[in-house]
Chain A
Amino acid sequence: MKFKFMKIHQFYLPIMVCLGFILTSCSGVDKSDASFNRDPFENTNRQIYAFNDSVDTLILEPVAYGYKKAIPQSAKTAVANHVFWAGLPNTALNSGLQGNWENAALSSLHFSVNALTLGLINLVSEEEPPVSQDFGKTLSVYDIPEGPYVVLPILGGKTSRHAFGQVANMIVNPYSALEEKKAISQAVSMQPVLSTISWRAANFDIVNDIKYNSLDGYVRARSAYYQLRFGEMPSSSIHKSEADSLFDDLDFEE
């Protein structure tokens, strides 16, 4: 079995070094005005956001619309299942690194059993499926600061810790390292495209609401990202959300 780890490694290494630099250089961000101090590169980020917005309008939105309207619900569910299944090795690995052995075992079980159908059909009848984990979340467990908000071309806005973790996911995913098994290898190469279209179609109205109904789409997208990501973090139950903090500070009487 040949591993193409080195090829991928060489390609992503410069990106990781840059993200690592951003992550460490901005670790001392003052959190007193979190929503603004989190985004020191706002001007550049807004330009990349405008580019991503154009790509979405020209390519992704029409493709996702067609996918949403033309593909039967059962097929869309199968694709969503497959995308979720393909991320399970990463979930298992990261759950292990976070010390969440139950989730690691559950995701390994789901991956092994559903491999029979390449994840298209969920053969495991569990009430609670494994919770998706990634390197960004693992880094947060080890108290690595989230770093500034960065908008990446095509990939969108995220914290630099999350972006760094996403690149690490691409490199380390054991599923993507297999070169011999052509079927799996081809399925892997389709992952980013499939998952992007599937995600955009599933969140079609939400994304369009941000694009067309907001006063400032960039700020709304950033706010939604931070809140959504906070809810996904392993430590979210012990920290206050932005909404909790907002109402703690609010004077109801005035």
Chain B
Amino acid sequence: MTVYSKLSVLLLSVCMLCGIFINNAALASKTDNAVSLVNELLDEVSNIQKTEISIEQRRTDFLKLIYAYFDINIIAKASTGPYWRAATSDEKEHYTKLISELIADVTSSQLGDIDNFSFDFQSSIPKGDKMVMVSGNLLVPNQSIPKISVKWRVSTPDSDIAKIIDVEFENISMLVTQKQENVAIIRKNAGSFPALIEAIEGKLRK
């Protein structure tokens, strides 16, 4: 083997090692970002819950959090399954706004007056290149179910971007459940996307 080919092999090995190192560093950065995002969100939720405000104000505050911490475009797309492609851009835009309001509405009503909770972090595992699963337990003292297993699916398309796309409570994915409800409504109305929009508007008016 000549000096030239030895140098080539050495250079190739160094490049491969650098590649592995950079890839691992990017993955580590994505998982760290995902965990930070979840912790920041929970801090914000805790602050809202501890403040004495009206239900309407609480709902508005949650809506702001949803726009800041959740990838609402992916949620809108995933929650309508195959019917997303057939919807017009106006319908897509309107639905995206409505689903954000629905999530804010449901979250504020589900959390009710719970103001004392903590998140016991368990793990953060990359799921492919673009997603990280953050798992842990939500500890709620003085409640009938004091420990709830929660998994957060965080979309991480780049190492500096992280947004939540789904939350699982005790293995029940909010997105899967919403998608199945949405698809059932669209099917019941012969594939009409506007029927889904109307149903959500009706629910939000109640």
Chain A residues packing against B (C-beta within 8 Å): 35-36, 68, 73, 76, 201-205, 209, 213-216, 219-220, 222-224, 227-228, 230-231, 241-244, 246-247, 250, 252, 254
Contacts and interface: CB of A to CB of B under 8 A. Distances in A.
Contacts of A205: 110, 112
A201 B144 contact: yes
Interface string B104-123: 01100110100000000000
Interface of B: 74, 77-78, 105-106, 109-110, 112, 127, 130-131, 142, 144-145, 153, 155, 157, 165-166, 168, 170-173, 175-177, 179-185, 187, 199-200, 203
**A36, A220, A243 — most chain B CB neighbours (10 Å):** A243
B177 A204 contact: no
Contacts of A254: 77
Contact of B77 (A76, A220, A241, A250): A250
Q: Is chain A's binding surface mostly helix, strand, loop or mixed? A: helix
B106 A202 contact: no
Given A76-B144, A202-B144, A228-B170, A35 B180 contact: yes
A247 B153 contact: yes
Contact of A243 (B145, B168, B184): B168
Nearest to B180: A223
Contact of B184 (A203, A216, A231, A247): A216
A224 B173 CA distance: 8
A241 B175 contact: no
Given A76-B144, A227-B172, A231-B170, A216 B153 contact: no
B144 to A, nearest CB: 4
A212 to B, nearest CB: 9
A190 B165 CA distance: 44
A175 B145 CA distance: 27
A250 B110 CA distance: 28
A245 B175 CA distance: 12
B109 to A, nearest CB: 6
A243 B181 contact: no
B7 to A, nearest CB: 40
Contact of B177 (A68, A223, A231, A247): A223
Contacts of A227: 171-173, 176-177
Contacts of B144: 68, 73, 76, 201-202, 204
Contacts of B166: 243, 247
Contacts of B105: 213
B153 A243 contact: yes
Given A203-B145, A205-B110, A223 B181 contact: yes
Contacts of B171: 227-228, 230-231, 241
A246 B175 contact: yes
B110 A219 contact: no
Given A203-B145, A213-B106, A227-B173, A252 B74 contact: yes
Contacts of A224: 172, 177
Nearest to B177: A223
